[in-house]
Structure 1
Amino acid sequence: MKANDIILGIVFSSQTTLGILGNSFLACLFIIMLLTGNRLRPIDTIFAQLASFNSLLLLSNGLPQTMATLGLNNFFNANGCIILFYIHRVSRGLSLSSTCLLSGFQAITICPKGSWWAEVKARAPKYIMPISCLSCITHLLLNIIVFVKFKNHQAPRNSSTLPDFGYCSSLKDTNIADVRFGVVVSLRDALLVSLMVFASGYMILFLHQHHKQHQHLYVTNLSPRPSPLNRATQSVLLLVSTFVCFYALNSILISYMYLRKRKLWLMQCSTFLSIGFPTFSPFVLISSDSQFLKYCHRLWGKNAPHL
């Protein structure tokens, strides 16, 4: 085994393990808080869904890629490759949809009470679960075409037909159906990312105006504390910015690979970028939103033994 393969295996395994641990921690924290009767914010429901989808994305992409990099590239048969690719596409779409829902929900939450969004703002928490269920059904049905589109088989790692993963090779018949499917997926991604950027722009404008309106408080108080709503908005902005950065870089790299000949190291870079957001997102939330630390203190502080 080459030294480069060992280094890549360590990088992918560390990235996958770190991401799974972080997302699992958030998901378990929300579940335990609910089971113990604690009240959560409506936005925490979206955080929990995002953590679950990101964990699934890491398991379906980062873990197999790690095994393939270490030389274990014959552990999936044709059906296994198709199922794994299906799970990856579904979890990737759901992660994108959840991030878009997160930014949109927070943008609506910070709307002034007198605006025409006031009625939507009052009902927004009730729409989270229906929208999430509709999104899950849509992605499950949309990606069924994967079972028809791909004919997977095992191939050497230096194969010129290396697919999106690197541990399964796929033979694709380039026909009208494939082109249409690619266009539909690209339009969906572009629409969701555009909505994210629009919502983020609105939140940035809101925070800027809010800072100007309360600027006199910063003069009299040398250490002002932002409101919980502002802190939550800043956390969402940081999370969405992280997603857009990884998504944009990966999209540029994928476009380059389609225009040029695919190479293994480019596909490995693409894998690193594709699982970058699921890996770092839980730590972005934990470090930027103090509410998670309050949840931990409330949970373990209550159950801690008194000496």
Structure 2
Amino acid sequence: MASGDLAVGVVCLSQTVVGLMGNVSLLYHYLFLYFTGCRPRSTDLIVVHLIIANFLSLLSRGVPQTMAAFGSTLFLNDIGCKLVFYVHRVGRGVSISTTCLLSVFQVITISPRNSRWGELKEKAPRYTGFAIFLCWLPYMLVNIICLMYITGKWGNTNSTIKKDLGYCSGEGNNEISVSLCVPMLSMPDVFCVGLMLWASSSMVFILFRHQQRVQHIHKNDLSPRSSPESRATHSILVLVSMFVSSYILSCLLQVCIVFMDNPNILAVNASALISVCFPTLCPFILMSRVSREPRLSFAWIKITKSPKPIINM
């Protein structure tokens, strides 16, 4: 085993393990709040689906890439490769759309009631479930096209298979298929990224105006503290910034892989590592916000002061 493959395997394994642990911890937090009777926020369900998308990305990308880096490249047949790539594409797409939805909901949350978004404060939570459904449906339908171009290496002797994708293979370039598939697969991503950038700029503008309005109050306050809404907005801005930067790098590498007849293994490994960065770091950014939420202490007070026992023996 080459030292480069060993390094890629160690990094990818570390990313996968740390990411799974972080997402499990964050999911446990929301399940704990749910079962203790805390009032859920409109964004809690969105975050839970983002965690699910992170799980799909880590398991379908991090685990196979780790095995391939450690020398096991013939562990998936055609069906396995198609399933792994499809699950990864869906998980990646849902990560884009749920992060976009989370940023849009946060814009609505922090908008003043007298603004044009103020009217949506009461209506938006009622459409959360439908909005999440729309996050899944387009990517589940569009990415079916990936199933036609991905095959396994296991027992495959077809000479038309030219692209080495590590643990799977892809068909050679076809100008017609590339010109049709790339725009179809990219349209939902471009729309979500554009909406995220608009929501981020709107959040920055709203926070800037709010800071100007309360500046005279903070001058008289010896220990000013930001509101929970401001802390949540800052966390989502960091999340969006990290996602957009990793998404752009990943897209550039994937475009190179698509248009190469024989992709460089370095580009394949770099694309895999970058694609796993967001689902690995995402839960820790969100946990930096929820660790300061008062709901956890309220839930503990509610349990300890409950007049009825939880279990009757």
Q: Same fold (TM over 0.5)?
A: yes
TM-score normalised to structure 2 length: 0.88
C-alpha distance in 2 between matches for 1:130 and 1:272: 32
Residue 59 of structure 2 is matched in structure 1 by 59
Conserved? CA contact 1:54–1:278, under 8 Å: yes
Please tell me the residue identity of whatever aligns with 1:2: A
Deviation digits for residues 227-284 of structure 1 (CA, Å, limit 9, x no counterpart): 1111111111111111111112222333344566621112111111111010001111
Change (3 A) 1:266 1:148: closer
1:265 maps to which residue? 266
Separation in structure 2 between the aligned mates of residue 256 and residue 141 of structure 1, nearest angstrom: 24
Equivalent residue, structure 1, for 2:30: 30
Q: Which residue of 2 aligns with 1:20?
A: 20
Structure 1, gaps ≥5 residues long: none
TM-superposed CA distance for 1:27, in Å, is 1.6
RMSD: 2.3
Equivalent residue, structure 1, for 2:153: 153
For this pair of structures, how many residues does the alignment match? 299
CA distance in 2, matches of 1:15, 1:295: 30
CA displacement, residues 8-28 of structure 1 (integer Å, 9 cap, x when unaligned):
211110100000111121122
The equivalent of 1:280 in structure 2 is: 281
User: What is the one-letter code of the residue matched to 2:33?
Assistant: M
Question: Are 2:81 and 2:150, in contact at CA under 8 Å, matched by a contact in 1?
Answer: no
Paired with 1:92 and 1:13, the residues of 2 have a C-alpha distance of 19
- What are the ranges of 5 or more consecutive residues in structure 2 without an aligned counterpart? 305-313
CA 1:116 to 1:35, structure 2 compared with 1: closer, same or farther past 3 Å? Answer: same
For 2:170, what is the secondary structure of its paired residue? strand
Residue 7 in structure 1 maps to residue 7 in structure 2: yes
**Residues 118 and 225 (structure 1 numbering): CA distance in 2 closer, same or farther, change over 3 Å?**
same
TM-score (norm 1): 0.89
Which residue does the alignment assign to 2:308? none
**2:138 match: secondary structure:** helix
Compare 1-10 and 242-251 and name the one that shifted more. Answer: 1-10
What is the match of residue 107 of structure 1? Answer: 107
Residue 251 (structure 1) aligns with: 251
Deviation of 1:178 after TM superposition, in Å, equals 4.1
What's the counterpart of residue 311 of structure 2? none
Alpha-carbon distance between aligned partners in 2 of 1:109 and 1:296, rounded to the nearest angstrom: 21
Of 4-13 and 146-155, the range deviating more from structure 2: 146-155
For residue 81 of structure 1, what is the aligned residue in structure 2?
81
Distance 1:222 1:248, change over 3 A: farther
1:89 partner amino acid? R
Contact 1:60 1:87 in 2 (8 A): yes
Rounded to whole Å, the distance in 2 between the matches of 1:57 and 1:125 is 27
Q: 1:199 to 1:111 in 2, by over 3 A?
A: same
Distance 2:121 2:299 in 1: 30
- Between the aligned residues of both structures, percent identity stands at 38
Asked if the contact 1:110/1:229 (under 8 Å) is kept, the reply is: yes
Partner SS for 1:118: coil
Please tell me whether the aligned partners of residues 149 and 178 of structure 1 are also in contact (alpha carbons under 8 angstroms).
Answer: no
